[in-house]
């Protein structure tokens, strides 16, 4: 989408090596898209490990995934999808020069992201208590399969890396709120909001793949 | 957005001629002073030089390690280092050369310097990310140093599991260092792609893009698509050592061959990260010193992309003996042969460019010829290794070592030297001694072949790689090879000598010592901090040597931020009347 025309020209954001705001905006956006491609390949390695082991041990995945709580996974899915909506609304607010709306929407997004992490925390600690620990520390007896540790290694790697991405997203959005309060953003310049939004959608989409692959296979 | 209006999109621009300033008083090297200005600079040229200094340091370190290895191999038994030390030294030689020298050499050092200049841009799209990538590189290097001093690494540069998950030493710090380094590589690639897409000067359409930039573009694509896979692989390996997650460890139910798949899915394309930018340099140098338009512009440009693409489909040829299915072996072998096609297209187009050109055997051109010769040998022996039955015999022998060095050192390092000598006057505004440079090039050529030709022979006779002792029949080959390595180091000493002399006492370089038509030579030598004081306008291809120099020096006065011209738009140029004369 093209940027709406700026009524009053504010150019303090424009770096000297760009010709105009459009060029700067398009460059930043393209840079973010390329970064998202690298993220997909980064997670792609884990998805591949998932596929390989699932092909070798299909029954392991069915057994082990019963240990995961579909209900809380579903709640987290709804929470993240909701946060994607609010981050999109934040971008819309910025486009319309509604800085107050921008800040409110960012706060809601941050709140939802925190809800996600809290639920994840309870899921993890419930498993740790049972002895479902990553890798060599695995000591749970409840799954009748000798490779159960591998499933949970993959589970912890995937959800752990995803969790780190959620934390980074929270940090970015707090920074955006800070900037927005300083009146840095306006309808002629909201690039950081836009590209953080792109990042946040990716975090959301990765979860949308993780949820059925890990929770819904039984 | 504007596709419907594309035909009516021709803009009229008033241009005039801007002759580059000769012997400028103020330039990027002296406009800002002090160490702090260097450390915090976002100028792509200075960052390029910082990379250049760092990779030179690592090239020296890994080169010394190579000399130690070759010296140890003078005798069949122990000469002066133990087997364990030998394992660590060859691991470090490989890992440092590949991750700290070869991968950043052309893109991050030379590419950083020259890419915005060739686009007529003031900088790359994300200068601060560019600086960040340099510091990430430094942090990765510190981790590696830490690994060396806290136990070392003896796994070979491939870090194969399960050995790497269980051996002593500090594999974790090393792989974590390489993991960090990957981000530096990704950021450089990302920056280059966006810069090439979005920051071209008016008139630089895709078919007027210098071939060096096509090379860097293809490289950047590989960097952003392959490096994340290495990152996740090394992260899994780190977790394997830290938590024993078991994905690659057979003792915990994992699969070590899966590690090899992961690793080579990055590391085979990574070989093309190292060589493809070299192709770009060779295209520039051969056209410049043949005074002729490049033959087969699109063939060379697209074959870089083809190599990048096929490079993602051949990783299995590293695992012919690792227990892959024979069907997979056959497919990977076939796909490996395909790489030869775009590579051959390039070689023949370069030869056709030289045909009937007026060839000037300056140092960069000498290195380009050395490249053609050595890289072709490296390429052909690669085809042999890609053949299934032959590979069973040659796998893990010195034949592979020789092939790899012919491609990487004979190909990439020679292309790097071609580029270094080609752009040296632009970087530092100084000329080097042509006489000594040619002598060093000749010695290097002789020394290189002395070192690595015998390795083909002994490899074919069964000398395995990575062994610190060997049976007596190979001694004459090893001794010859070691002498060759010493000869090469003489060449490097000469090179260090005349380049240092050039820096300190060299003659000032004119803006365009080679008479090139490419855009970076229309800036002053060395260029000002923001490259051009005007906005360059391009109306000819970068290799149109049949057109007068004046047509390559056009531009519009920079009334900053007022204009809106992108490379995508066709421009119709009107020269102002004064300039017609």
CB pairs under 8 A between A and B: 124
In degrees rounded to 5, what are phi and psi of residue B210?
-55, 145
The residue among A133 and B56 whose pLDDT is bigger is B56
Q: Which of A31-40, B436-445, B558-567 has the lowest mean pLDDT?
A: B558-567
Altogether, the residues listed in chain B come to a count of 581
| Closest-approach residue (CA) in chain B for A11 | B561
On the question of pLDDT at B522 being above 80, the answer is yes
Please indicate if any CB of chain A lies within 8 Å of the CB of B269. Answer: no
Tokens at residue B357, please?
């050109």
- Residue A126 lies inside a defined structural domain of this protein: yes
Across the interface, whether the CB atoms of B239 and A30 are under 8 A apart is answered no
Provide the token pair at B70: 């070759």
Indicate which of B194, B219, B226, B266 best probes the interface with A, i.e. most A CBs within 10 Å of its own CB: B194
Most B CBs within 10 Å: which of A15, A48, A153, A160, as the mutation test of the B interface? A153
Segment A82-104 shows an average pLDDT of 95
Q: Is B247 on the interface with A (CB under 8 A)?
A: yes
**Burial (0-12, 13-18, 19+ Cβ within 10 Å), B540:** middle
**Per-residue pLDDT, B569:** 55
Interface contact B252, partner A, CB < 8 A: yes
Q: What is the pLDDT of residue A137?
A: 79
Would you place residue B32 in the very low, low, confident or very high pLDDT band (cuts 50, 70, 90)? confident
With CB atoms and an 8 Å threshold, state whether B190 touches A2. no
pLDDT at B1: 38
pLDDT of residue B219: 95
Nearest-by-CA chain A residue for B236:
A157
Residue B574 confidence class, pLDDT cut points 50, 70, 90 = low
Choose the weakest-confidence range: A42-46, A95-99, B10-14. Answer: B10-14
CB contact under 8 A, A49 and B231: no
Pairing mode, strands B571-575 and B534-536: unpaired
Out of A23, A27, A149, whose CB is closest to B246? A149
The secondary element (H helix, E strand) that includes residue B437 is helix B434-460
d(CA B228, CA A34): 12
Number of compact structural domains in chain A? 1
Predicted local confidence at residue A117, as pLDDT: 97
pLDDT digits (tens, 9 = 90+) for A177-206: 999 999 999 999 999 999 999 999 999 999
Cβ contact A135–B246 (<8 Å): yes
Q: What is the pLDDT of residue B169?
A: 79
B31-35, B74-78, B299-303: least confidently modelled range: B31-35
Give the contacts of B188 (CB within 8 A, at least 6 positions apart).
B104, B107, B108, B111, B112, B130, B133, B220, B223
A144 to chain B, closest Cα gap in Å: 15
Which B positions 107-136 lie with beta carbon below 8 A of chain A? Answer: 121-123, 125-127, 129
The answer to whether residue A88 sits within a structural domain is yes
Structure tokens at B256: 């070590």
**What's residue B4's pLDDT?**
42
The mean pLDDT of B269-292, rounded to a whole number, is 94
**Could you tell me if residue A175 is inside a domain?**
yes
Between B151 and B368, name the one with better pLDDT: B368
Q: Identify which of B122, B194, B245 has the shortest CB distance to residue A17.
A: B122
Q: Which domain holds residue A57?
A: 23-215
**Which of B184, B190, B534 would you mutate first to test chain A, the one with the most A CBs within 10 A?**
B190
Confidence at residue B578, expressed as pLDDT on a 0 to 100 scale: 43
3-state secondary structure B439-474: HHHHHHHHHHHHHHHHHHHHHHCCCECCCCCCCHHH
Interchain proximity B194–A27, CB inside 8 Å: yes
> How far, in Å, CA of B8 to CA of B3, rounded?
10
Q: Which of B123, B197, B253 sits opposite A30 (nearest CB)?
A: B197
Q: Which residues of B touch A146 (CB under 8 A)?
A: 253
Residue A146 pLDDT level (bands cut at 50, 70, 90): confident
Instruction: Tell me the mean pLDDT in the region B226-243.
Output: 90
Chain B residues within an 8 Å CB radius of A42: 228-229, 231-232
**Mind telling me how many Å the CA of B229 is from chain A's nearest CA?**
5
Q: How far is A160 from chain B (nearest CA, A)?
A: 12
CB contact under 8 A, B232 and A23: no
How is the beta sheet containing B534-536 ordered, strand by strand? B534-536, B554-557, B11-17, B571-575
Contact criterion met (CB < 8 Å) for A137 and B121: no
Domain membership flag for residue A1: no
* Contact predicate B140/B180, CB 8 Å: yes
Which chain A residues are closer than 8 Å to B186 by Cβ?
38
Q: At what angle do helices B44-72 and B112-119 cross, to 10 degrees?
A: 140
Q: Do A42 and B193 touch (CB under 8 A)?
A: no
In terms of DSSP bridges, do strands B11-17 and B571-575 run parallel, antiparallel, or are they unpaired? parallel
Q: Are B190 and A17 an interchain contact pair (Cβ–Cβ within 8 Å)?
A: no
**Per-residue pLDDT averaged across B37-51, rounded?**
93
pLDDT at residue B576 tops 70: no
Residue whose C-alpha is closest to residue B122's, from B532, B562, B565, B538: B532
Inside any domain, residue A70: yes
Q: Residue A6: which pLDDT band, with cuts at 50, 70 and 90?
A: very low
Q: Does any domain span residue A10?
A: no
Q: For residue B236, which residues of chain A lie inside 8 Å, CB to CB? A: 45, 49, 157
Q: Does residue A67 lie within any of the structural domains?
A: yes
Q: Do B315 and B261 meet the contact criterion of CB atoms below 8 Å apart?
A: yes
Closest CA of chain A from B429, distance in Å: 24
How many residues are listed for chain A in this entry? Answer: 218
How far does the CA of residue A14 sit from the closest CA of chain B (Å)?
9
Question: Do B560 and A153 count as a contact with CB atoms less than 8 A apart?
Answer: no
Q: Is the predicted pLDDT of residue A36 greater than 50, yes or no?
A: yes
Strand pairing report for B554-557 and B571-575: unpaired
- Per-residue pLDDT averaged across B448-453, rounded? 97
- Hey, are the CB atoms on A41 and B229 less than 8 Å from each other? yes
Q: Do B244 and A137 touch (CB under 8 A)?
A: yes
Closest Cα in chain B, distance from residue A99 (Å): 26
What's the gap in Å between the CA of A95 and the closest CA on chain B? 19
Nearest to A30 among B123, B198, B254 (CB): B198
Q: For residue A13, is it within any domain?
A: no
Mutate to test the interface with B, among A1, A13, A26, A27 (most CBs of B within 10 A): A27
Which residues touch B316 (CB under 8 Å, ≥6 apart)? B261, B264, B324, B328, B329, B331, B332
Q: How far apart are CA B103 and CA B61, in angstroms?
A: 16
Q: What percent of chain B has pLDDT over 70?
A: 94
Contact B243 A147 (CB under 8 A): no
Q: What's the mean pLDDT in B199-226?
A: 94
Average pLDDT, chain B: 91
pLDDT tops 60 at residue A136: yes
Confidence of residue B168 (pLDDT cuts 50, 70, 90): confident
Q: Which of the two residues, B463 and A16, has the higher pLDDT score?
A: B463
Per-residue pLDDT, B514: 94
Question: In this predicted model, what pLDDT tens digit does every residue of B288-332 receive, in sequence order?
Answer: 999 999 999 999 999 999 999 999 999 999 999 988 889 999 999
Q: Any CB–CB contact under 8 A between B229 and chain A?
A: yes
| φ, ψ for residue B470, nearest 5 deg | -155, 170
Structure tokens at A3: 């940027």
Q: Which two tokens stand for residue B436?
A: 């000594």
Q: Is B245 on the interface with A (CB under 8 A)?
A: yes
Contacting residues of A for B1, CB less than 8 Å apart: 2
CATH number for the domain including A176? 1.20.120.80
Lowest mean pLDDT among A131-140, B211-220, B321-330, B472-481: A131-140
In chain B, the residue whose alpha carbon lies closest to the alpha carbon of A26 is: B198
**Which band of pLDDT confidence, cut at 50, 70 and 90, is reported for residue B571?**
low
> Residue B246 is nearest to which of A17, A22, A150, comparing CB atoms?
A150
Under a CB-based contact definition with an 8 Å cutoff, are residues B269 and B98 in contact? no
Q: What residue spans of chain A are helical by DSSP H? A: 21-56, 58-65, 70-95, 99-130, 148-181, 191-215
């Amino acid at each position: 989408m093209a940027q709406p025309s700026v009524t009053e020209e504010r150019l303090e954001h424009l770096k000297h090596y760009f010709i105009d705001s459009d060029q700067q905006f398009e460059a930043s956006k393209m840079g973010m898209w390329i970064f998202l491609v690298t993220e997909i390949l980064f997670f792609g390695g884990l998805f591949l490990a998932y596929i390989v082991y699932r092909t070798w041990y299909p029954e392991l995945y069915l057994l082990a995934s019963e240990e995961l709580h579909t209900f809380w996974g579903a709640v987290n899915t709804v929470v993240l999808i909701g946060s994607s909506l609010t981050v999109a609304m934040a971008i819309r607010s910025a486009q319309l020069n509604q800085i107050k709306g921008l800040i409110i929407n960012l706060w809601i997004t941050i709140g939802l992201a925190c809800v996600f992490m809290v639920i994840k925390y309870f899921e993890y600690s419930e498993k740790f208590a049972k002895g479902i620990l990553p890798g060599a520390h695995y000591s749970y007896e409840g799954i009748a399969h000798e490779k159960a540790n591998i499933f949970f290694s993959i589970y912890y790697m995937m959800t752990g890396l995803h969790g780190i991405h959620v934390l980074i997203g929270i940090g970015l959005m707090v920074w955006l709120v800070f900037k927005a309060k300083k009146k840095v953003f306006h309808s002629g310049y909201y690039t950081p909001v836009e590209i953080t939004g792109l990042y946040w959608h990716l975090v959301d989409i990765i979860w949308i793949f993780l949820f059925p692959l890990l929770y819904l296979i039984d | 957005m504007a596709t419907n209006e594309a035909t009516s999109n021709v803009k009229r621009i008033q241009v005039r001629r801007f002759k580059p300033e000769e012997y400028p008083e103020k330039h990027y090297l002296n406009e800002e002073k002090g160490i702090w200005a260097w450390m915090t600079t976002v100028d792509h040229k200075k960052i390029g030089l910082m990379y250049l200094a760092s990779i030179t340091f690592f090239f020296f370190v890994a080169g010394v390690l190579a000399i130690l290895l070759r010296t140890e191999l003078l005798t069949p038994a122990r000469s002066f280092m133990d087997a364990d030390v030998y394992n660590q030294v060859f691991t470090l030689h490989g890992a440092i050369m590949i991750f700290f020298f070869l991968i950043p050499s052309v893109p991050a050092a030379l590419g950083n310097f020259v890419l915005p200049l060739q686009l007529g841009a003031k900088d790359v799209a994300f200068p601060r990310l560019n600086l960040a990538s340099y510091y990430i590189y430094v942090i990765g290097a510190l981790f590696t140093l830490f690994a060396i001093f806290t136990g070392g690494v003896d796994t070979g540069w491939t870090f194969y599991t399960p050995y790497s998950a269980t051996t002593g030493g500090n594999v974790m710090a090393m792989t974590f260092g390489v993991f960090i380094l990957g981000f530096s590589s990704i950021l450089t690639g990302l920056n280059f792609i966006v810069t090439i897409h979005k920051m071209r000067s008016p008139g630089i359409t895709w078919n007027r893009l210098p071939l060096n930039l096509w090379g860097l573009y293809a490289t950047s694509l590989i960097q952003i698509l392959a490096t994340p896979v290495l990152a996740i692989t090394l992260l899994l390996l780190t977790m394997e050592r830290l938590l024993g997650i078991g994905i690659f460890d057979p003792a915990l139910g994992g699969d070590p061959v899966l590690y090899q798949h992961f690793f080579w899915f990055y590391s085979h394309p990574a070989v093309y990260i190292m060589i493809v930018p070299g192709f770009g340099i060779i295209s520039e140098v051969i056209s410049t010193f043949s005074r002729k338009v490049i033959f087969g512009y699109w063939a060379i440009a697209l074959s870089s992309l083809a190599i990048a693409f096929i490079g993602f489909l051949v990783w299995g040829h590293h695992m012919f003996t690792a227990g892959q299915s024979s069907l997979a072996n056959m497919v990977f072998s076939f796909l490996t042969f395909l790489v030869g096609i775009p590579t051959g297209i390039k070689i023949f187009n370069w030869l056709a460019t030289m045909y009937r050109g007026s060839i000037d055997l300056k140092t960069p051109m000498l290195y380009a010829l050395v490249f053609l010769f050595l890289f072709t040998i490296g390429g052909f022996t690669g085809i042999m290794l890609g053949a299934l039955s032959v590979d069973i015999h040659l796998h893990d022998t010195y034949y592979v070592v020789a092939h790899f060095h012919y491609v990487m050192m004979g190909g990439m390092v020679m292309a790097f030297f071609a580029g270094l000598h080609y752009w040296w006057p632009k970087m530092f505004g100084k000329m080097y001694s042509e006489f000594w440079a040619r002598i060093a090039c000749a010695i290097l050529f002789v020394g290189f072949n002395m070192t690595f030709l015998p390795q083909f022979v002994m490899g074919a006779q069964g000398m395995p790689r990575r062994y610190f002792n060997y049976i007596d029949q190979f001694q004459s080959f090893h001794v010859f090879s070691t002498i060759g390595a010493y000869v090469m180091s003489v060449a490097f000493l000469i090179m260090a000598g005349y380049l240092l002399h050039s820096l300190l006492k060299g003659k000032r370089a004119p803006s365009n010592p080679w008479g090139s038509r490419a855009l970076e030579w229309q800036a002053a030598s060395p260029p000002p901090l923001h490259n051009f004081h005007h906005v360059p306008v391009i109306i000819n291809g970068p290799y149109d040597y049949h057109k007068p120099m004046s047509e390559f020096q056009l531009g519009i006065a920079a009334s900053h931020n007022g204009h809106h011209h992108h490379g995508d738009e066709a421009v119709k140029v009107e020269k102002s009347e004064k300039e017609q004369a």
